[in-house]
């Protein structure tokens, strides 16, 4: 029988959390569509648990047109009202409006840098930062780099992109590898 793999302790609550840890968290995302999905989900997560977002992820995909950035950027009143009435997602008016604003800003960044991934990965010289933490207590909630990215995103018109949200986004998309050293999924 195969030995159980060692995992970061934060993911042990549910199979959904464990699968996210094993298959996605910390894996470098170089696809703009997937990067946009994570950005939108991270902004909705602000003030909530990531598990709450993961439990609603499929509903978010449906509600937000599979995170098609062009479609989200063009949302108007009727679609906003539909989202505000959708009990399957987080119905925060400011976050819904931020998703639209962020989609519009995202497109502008794509136009300037070729892809959003080119822009964002440029902050880490296009290579993941490999941290070597042995305890969850060592993992920061934000860093000077996430502060700088947050500041630049805000300057470009993005909303709900504080430093803590951006650091979580960097972890989720593999810009930083915060799997503990003893984790078999590094």
Q: What is the pLDDT of residue 1?
A: 62
pLDDT bin (cut points 50, 70, 90) of residue 60 is very high
Q: Is 50 a catalytic residue?
A: yes
133: DSSP letter: -
Q: Is 42 a catalytic residue?
A: yes
Q: Interhelix angle for 163-172 vs 144-155, to 10°? A: 110
Q: Which listed residue (20, 119, 121, 167) is catalytic? A: 20
Q: Is 75 a catalytic residue?
A: no
**Tally of CA atoms within 13 A in the half-sphere of 183 that contains its CB:** 24
pTM flag (> 0.85): yes
> Cα(128)–Cα(140) distance, rounded to whole angstroms?
16
The pair of structure tokens assigned to 34 is 């997937």
Q: Which listed residue (17, 25, 37, 42) is catalytic? A: 42
Q: Which listed residue (25, 50, 75, 119) is catalytic? A: 50
> What are the pLDDT digits (tens) for 104-131?
999 999 999 999 999 999 999 999 999 9
């Amino acid at each position: 029988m195969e030995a159980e793999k060692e995992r970061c302790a934060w993911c042990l609550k549910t199979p959904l959390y464990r699968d996210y840890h094993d298959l996605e968290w910390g894996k470098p995302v170089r696809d703009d569509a997937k990067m946009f999905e994570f950005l939108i989900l991270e902004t909705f997560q602000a003030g909530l648990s990531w598990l709450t977002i993961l439990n609603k992820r499929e509903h978010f995909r449906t509600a937000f047109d599979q995170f098609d950035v062009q479609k989200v950027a063009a949302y108007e009143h009727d679609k906003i009202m539909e989202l505000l009435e959708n009990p399957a997602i987080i119905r925060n008016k400011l976050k819904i409006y931020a998703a639209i604003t962020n989609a519009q800003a995202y497109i502008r960044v794509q136009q300037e840098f070729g892809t959003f991934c080119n822009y964002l990965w440029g902050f880490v010289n296009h290579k993941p930062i490999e941290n070597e933490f042995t305890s969850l207590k060592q993992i920061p909630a934000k860093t000077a780099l996430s502060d700088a990215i947050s500041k630049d995103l805000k300057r470009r018109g993005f909303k709900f992109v504080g430093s803590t949200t951006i650091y979580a986004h960097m972890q989720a998309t593999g810009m930083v590898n915060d799997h503990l050293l003893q984790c078999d999924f590094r």
